[in-house]
């Protein structure tokens, strides 16, 4: 049973960044308005995530760590709906099977909080403790019991980079949540949660990018595109500046990236990777839901309808407001 869990865990949890992603998404689902992410050594020795969300009821704590335990109603379509980011109740059980996990949580109605420790899927502690409302996860010694997997981790700096990217994308897709990221005791990101996307961009990417943005606001009968694109001068040698979200969930999509880049190509006369932070509201019928959600790669049923619209919208925005 333990081995099965460890193998299953590998699908969801392949590196520290996937733990951060799952735990942050849980915090968002729990209605948090504040999430703090702290890591040490690229997350391999410590990940601490604190939220001020609903907390977990005492009786639900152990259950939440069982495989396929989820309090969220799941259909394939839920996966891309705004309401719930979790999808199959596998994250907590997977994390606990390959790490040392400590959870401190308190709901609004509870008199005290609970501290629960679980290591390699085995309970270590379950006790009452004073705690603020919300939930803290402390995850230590990732893959301590699966050395083969531990070997595949990259340097602490590289793993920290992956985590930073996850935190950035979640912060960009949730300007209404105050998000902080602390790496080896240094605060790297701290967003206010005031709901202003431009402020989040400023916080993460700095003045040069935040002061050179064009607002995008385009829609047709299937898609609504809102957010910011960088002026033509801003670009990078890879796609890491291309941030986009579907119904509030950040994803990767070849077709969207290509459409964005091709929209710029008309202006720049060369292929570049621009800065974007765009949310797409897309008709559910156009989304292919048969995709492994942890991979964040989404496919479309009518790619041929999506591509030209995005490309033209980018192009037109750059032409209409070049400065």
Cα(5)–Cα(144) distance, rounded to whole angstroms?
A: 15
Contact assessment for residue 89 and residue 61, using Cβ atoms and an 8 Å cutoff? no
Applying CB under 6 A, which of residues 9, 20, 56, 223 lies at the interface with ligand ADP?
A: 56
Told to check if 26 binds Mg ion by CB under 5 A, we report: yes
Cα(211)–Cα(141) distance, rounded to whole angstroms?
A: 41
Closest among 259, 253, 244 to 308, alpha carbons compared? 259
Told to check if 53 binds ligand ADP by CB under 6 A, we report: yes
Closest among 5, 37, 40, 9 to 23, alpha carbons compared? 37
Q: Which residue is nearest to Mg ion (CB)?
A: 86
Told to check if 30 binds ligand ADP by CB under 6 A, we report: yes
Told to check if 38 binds ligand ADP by CB under 6 A, we report: no
Told to check if 53 binds Mg ion by CB under 5 A, we report: no
With tokens 């994803």, the residue in question is 251
Told to check if 27 binds ligand ADP by CB under 6 A, we report: yes
Cα(241)–Cα(201) distance, rounded to whole angstroms?
A: 11
> 69 touches which of ligand ADP, Mg ion, none (CB within 5 to 8 A by kind)?
ligand ADP
Told to check if 54 binds ligand ADP by CB under 6 A, we report: yes
Cα(67)–Cα(296) distance, rounded to whole angstroms?
A: 21
Told to check if 310 binds ligand ADP by CB under 6 A, we report: no
- Site residues (CB under 6 A) for ligand ADP, limited to 154-193: none
With tokens 């893959």, the residue in question is 143
Told to check if 88 binds ligand ADP by CB under 6 A, we report: yes
Provide the edge-to-edge strand list for the sheet that holds 134-140.
Answer: 122-129, 113-119, 100-106, 134-140, 46-51, 34-40, 178-183, 186-190
Applying CB under 6 A, which of residues 33, 71, 226, 247 lies at the interface with ligand ADP?
A: 71
- Site residues (CB under 6 A) for ligand ADP, limited to 226-255: none
Q: Which residue is nearest to ligand ADP (CB)?
A: 86
Told to check if 140 binds ligand ADP by CB under 6 A, we report: no
Site string for Mg ion, 79-118 (x = CB under 5 A): -------x----x---------------------------
Other CB atoms within 10 A of residue 313 CB = 22
Cα(136)–Cα(128) distance, rounded to whole angstroms?
A: 14
Contact assessment for residue 87 and residue 293, using Cβ atoms and an 8 Å cutoff? yes
Between 12 and 216, CB nearer to ligand ADP: 12
Told to check if 96 binds ligand ADP by CB under 6 A, we report: no
- Find the shortest distance in angstroms from Cβ 206 to ligand ADP: 30
Between 95 and 204, CB nearer to Mg ion: 95
Told to check if 293 binds ligand ADP by CB under 6 A, we report: no
> 34 touches which of Mg ion, ligand ADP, none (CB within 5 to 8 A by kind)?
none
Please identify, among the stretches 53-61, 191-199, 203-211, 238-246, the one whose residues bind ligand ADP according to the rule CB under 6 A: 53-61
Contact assessment for residue 47 and residue 37, using Cβ atoms and an 8 Å cutoff? yes
Told to check if 52 binds ligand ADP by CB under 6 A, we report: no
How many of the chain's residues bind ligand ADP (CB under 6 A)?
22
Task: Write out the residues near Mg ion by the rule CB under 5 A.
Answer: 26, 86, 91
Task: Write out the residues near ligand ADP by the rule CB under 6 A.
Answer: 22, 26-27, 30, 51, 53-56, 64, 69-72, 86-92, 135
């Amino acid at each position: 049973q333990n081995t099965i869990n460890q193998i299953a865990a590998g699908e969801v949890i392949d590196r520290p960044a996937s733990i951060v992603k799952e735990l942050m998404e849980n915090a968002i689902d729990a209605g948090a308005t504040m999430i703090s992410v702290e890591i040490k050594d690229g997350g391999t020795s410590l990940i601490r995530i604190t939220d001020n969300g609903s907390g977990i009821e005492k009786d639900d704590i152990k259950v939440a760590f069982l495989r396929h335990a989820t309090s969220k109603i799941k259909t394939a379509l839920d996966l891309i709906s705004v309401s719930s980011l979790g999808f199959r109740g596998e994250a907590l059980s997977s994390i606990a099977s390959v790490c040392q996990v400590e959870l401190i949580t308190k709901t609004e109605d509870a008199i005290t909080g609970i501290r629960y420790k679980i290591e390699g899927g085995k309970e270590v502690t379950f006790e009452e403790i004073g705690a603020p409302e919300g939930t803290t996860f402390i995850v230590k010694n990732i893959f301590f019991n699966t050395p083969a997997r531990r070997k595949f981790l990259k340097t602490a700096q590289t793993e920290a980079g992956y985590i930073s990217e996850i935190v950035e994308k979640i912060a960009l897709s949730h300007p209404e949540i105050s998000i902080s990221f602390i790496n080896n005791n240094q605060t790297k990101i701290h967003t206010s949660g005031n709901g202003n996307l431009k402020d989040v961009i400023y916080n993460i990417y700095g003045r040069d990018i935040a002061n050179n943005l064009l607002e995008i606001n385009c829609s047709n009968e299937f898609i609504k595109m809102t957010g910011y694109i960088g002026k033509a001068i801003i670009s990078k040698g890879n796609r890491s500046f291309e941030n986009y979200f579907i119904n509030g969930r950040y994803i990767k999509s070849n077709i969207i990236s290509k459409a964005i880049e091709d929209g710029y190509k008309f202006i720049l006369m060369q292929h570049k990777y621009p800065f974007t932070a765009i949310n797409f509201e897309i008709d559910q019928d156009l989304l292919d839901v048969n995709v492994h959600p942890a991979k964040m790669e989404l496919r479309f049923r009518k790619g041929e309808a999506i591509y030209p619209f995005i490309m033209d919208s980018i192009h037109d925005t750059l032409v209409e407001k070049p400065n």
